[in-house]
């Protein structure tokens, strides 16, 4: 999501594309995976990818003064500087509530196609139901359908795209996003403390009108998991991203030290990762990790991702206290990073590269 001195201009025309669920409605004999989903090079080789434990952090202990607080902050910093992500437990949401969020996600995607199409994403807009923008004939598509909704600031909400079916969705999403705001603020204060900075350094960047978008993801079964990805390799153009994983089906992988590792499922945890904007703010100390999602030949997988971004027109650059003669500024100033992030994403490029000095 970058708007720096070198950006890709916004495409004028978006090319149409069926949802994956629509493709799977075709008669069995016609259910070939279309060419545009297939990776000719760089196809996923899942056979040798190991499962690797991602650090687990107890959010309740991070900011509460106690004899272990300093150790907790050091563990937290280590997770964000090496992995760039962690499994957050004790985040204030019950396992039952997280199951509700998962269940309503499954219920929405299980609705008849015509019901889901009431909330269809408009051309050249990100909010609504469908799949990602198709901006080039050369683009390799992700094997995923999604429902993408802006939740904060409230004036960004397009309530006509908030499904009324399942009935619980609107109320549960309202509740979930409110709880995520609390988690976000806790994590941003902890990030500052772990770097020995003023508590509000990262919080100020998020701002009173900070943006939060929620994306409900469905990854249907795919007959060619050897050459098709659920999500192509990318890092997030956010401050932080908060992910609720499927409780049973794996798929998420992180790149660490040039090797892919499978992310384990911790059912009651939120998997939280650093985004490009936090990497820029920390002048490269915190790492925005590259990750991808694989497809499964037999099982569908769901997840719910929440993306946090600075308020509109807020500029992001390395914090002054982290720049000196021995550690010079590594990134240019960026603004409205999300405006061009998707152009880079669909081309398999990282916008943060354009931000480096």
Report which of residues 137 and 355 the model is more confident about: 355
* DSSP class per residue in 116-158: HGGGBPPTT--SEEE---B--TTPPPPS-EEEEEEEESGGG--
Query: 134-148, 189-203, 285-299, 302-316: which has the minimum mean pLDDT?
Result: 134-148
Asked if 262 and 51 count as a contact pair (C-beta separation under 8 A), the reply is yes
Pairing, β 85-89 against β 56-58: parallel
- DSSP at 262: E
Query: 22-26, 126-130, 165-169, 250-254: which has the minimum mean pLDDT?
Result: 22-26
Angstrom distance (rounded) from CA 203 to CA 181: 11
Q: Provide the pLDDT for residue 5.
A: 32
Angstrom distance (rounded) from CA 238 to CA 308: 6
Residues forming beta bridges with residue 305, ordered by sequence position = 215, 243
Angstrom distance (rounded) from CA 162 to CA 172: 11
Angstrom distance (rounded) from CA 210 to CA 202: 11
| pTM as predicted | 0.92
Pairing, β 259-262 against β 50-51: parallel
CA atoms within 13 A on the CB side of 342: 16
Q: Provide the pLDDT for residue 350.
A: 85
Confidence of residue 139 (pLDDT cuts 50, 70, 90): confident
């Amino acid at each position: 999501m970058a708007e720096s001195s070198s950006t890709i201009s916004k495409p004028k025309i978006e090319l149409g594309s069926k949802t994956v669920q629509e493709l799977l409605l075709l008669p069995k004999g016609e259910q070939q995976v279309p060419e545009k989903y297939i990776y000719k090079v760089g196809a996923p080789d899942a056979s040798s990818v190991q499962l690797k434990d991602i650090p687990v952090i107890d959010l309740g202990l991070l900011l509460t003064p106690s004899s272990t607080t300093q150790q907790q902050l050091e563990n937290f910093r280590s997770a964000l500087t090496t992995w760039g992500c962690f499994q957050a437990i004790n985040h204030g949401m019950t396992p039952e509530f997280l199951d509700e969020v998962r269940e309503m996600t499954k219920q929405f995607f299980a609705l008849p196609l015509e019901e889901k199409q009431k909330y269809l994403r408009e051309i050249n807009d990100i909010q609504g139901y469908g799949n990602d923008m198709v901006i080039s004939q050369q683009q390799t598509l992700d094997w995923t359908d999604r429902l993408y909704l802006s939740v904060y600031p409230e004036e960004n909400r397009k309530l006509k795209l908030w499904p009324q079916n399942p009935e619980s969705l609107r109320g549960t999403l309202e509740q979930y996003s409110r709880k995520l705001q609390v988690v976000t603020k806790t994590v941003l204060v902890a990030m500052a403390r772990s770097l020995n900075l003023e508590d509000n350094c990262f919080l100020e960047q998020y701002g009173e009108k900070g943006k939060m978008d929620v994306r409900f993801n469905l990854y249907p079964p795919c007959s060619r998991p050897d050459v098709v990805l659920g999500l192509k390799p990318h890092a997030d153009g956010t401050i932080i991203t908060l992910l609720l994983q499927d409780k049973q089906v794996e798929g998420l992988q992180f790149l660490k030290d040039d090797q892919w590792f499978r992310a384990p499922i911790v059912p009651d945890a939120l998997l939280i990762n650093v985004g490009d904007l936090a990497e820029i703010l920390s002048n490269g100390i915190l790492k925005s990790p590259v990750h991808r999602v694989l497809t499964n030949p037999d099982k569908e997988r769901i997840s719910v991702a929440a993306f946090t971004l600075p308020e509109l027109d807020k500029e992001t650059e390395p914090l002054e206290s982290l720049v000196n003669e021995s550690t010079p500024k590594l990134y240019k100033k960026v603004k409205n990073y999300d405006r061009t992030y998707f152009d880079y994403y669909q081309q398999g490029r990282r916008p943060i590269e354009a931000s480096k000095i």
